[in-house]
Amino acid sequence: MERTAFVFRALPGRRDAVDAVVGGMAEEIGRVAAAGGVDNLSLWGVADMLYGYGECAGGTDDMLPLWNRLAEALSGTAEPLCAPGTMRLMYHDIGIVRADKSLIRHRVFSTVLKPGCEEEYKRRHDGLIAARGDAVSEGPDSNFTIWYGAGYIFGYCEKVKSFDRPMTEAERADTIAWETRQLEIMDWLTDDVDWITGQKHEPMRRVL
C-alpha cells in the first residue's frame, strides 16, 4: 500500500463551484477510487485549493484514473497543481492505524513555505523522526503524513479519540515553542495556531 496526495487550485472566484462539482459526483468518485484500488480517500478545501489524500493498494498510479476524472470534471473551475506521485513526503508518523474510522477524528492542515525554506522544513521534521526512533506509538497521532508541493504544505492526520485530553502545561509550552519557531519558515493557511498568534484563518473544510 502506498499513500499519496494531490492538489487542484480553483480558478478565480470559482471555489464554491469546485465544491459543488465534487459534491455532485461523490458516488462516482467513490466508484472510480474503489475500481482503481484507492481506499481511505478524502478531499479537503482551504483558500482556493482542493487537497486530496488516499491510500493505493498498489502504487501511486492507482490514483491516476481518479485524478484524470477529477481534472475532466473540474475543467473550467480548477486547474491541476500537484498530481499524484509528485508531492514530496516531508514527515510521517504512521503509528497504529485504526481501520475503524469512527475511532479517529481528522486533523488536516495547510501552510505556505517561505521562499527557500523547503529543506529547512524537511530537516526539522527529520529531527522529529530521529527522536522517535523505531518506536511505534498507539496515539494520539495515527496515519500522519505531511506533503509538499508547489510551495505549499498539506498535512493529513488521524487523531485517536481515546487519547483526547487537554494539554498539560509542559505540552502547551512545547507546542508554543515549536510553532513559534516554525513561523520563521512558513505562514499558516488554516487556523491551527491562531490560538498562539492571534491571527484569523479559516479551518480546513471537508469537501468529500
* Residue ranges covered by each domain of the chain: 2-82, 89-206
Q: Please report the pLDDT score of residue 26 as a whole number.
A: 97
Q: Please report the pLDDT score of residue 149 as a whole number.
A: 98
Q: Please report the pLDDT score of residue 134 as a whole number.
A: 79
C-alpha span between 197 and 191 (Å, rounded): 10
Closest CA to 74 of 19, 12, 27, 13: 19
Residue 121 near residue 185, CB atoms below 8 Å: yes
> Which residue ranges in the chain fall short of pLDDT 50?
none
Q: Please report the pLDDT score of residue 135 as a whole number.
A: 84
The correct answer on CATH 1.10.287 for the domain covering 89-206 is no
Q: Please report the pLDDT score of residue 52 as a whole number.
A: 98
Q: Ramachandran region of residue 109, left (φ > 0), alpha (ψ -120 to 50) or beta?
A: beta
C-alpha span between 73 and 65 (Å, rounded): 12
- The reply to whether 2-82 and 89-206 are identical in fold is yes
Q: Please report the pLDDT score of residue 18 as a whole number.
A: 97
C-alpha span between 18 and 144 (Å, rounded): 26
CA-CA distances (angstroms) from residue 166 to 98, 130, 169, 179, 196?
22, 26, 9, 18, 16
The x, y and z cell numbers of residue 11, run together, are 480558478
Residue 105 near residue 161, CB atoms below 8 Å: yes
Which residues contact residue 56 at a Cβ distance below 8 angstroms, ignoring those fewer than 6 apart? 1, 2, 3, 4, 36, 37, 38, 39, 62, 63
Q: How many Cα neighbours within 13 Å face the side chain of 104?
A: 22
Task: Tell me the fold of 2-82.
Answer: Alpha-Beta Plaits (3.30.70)
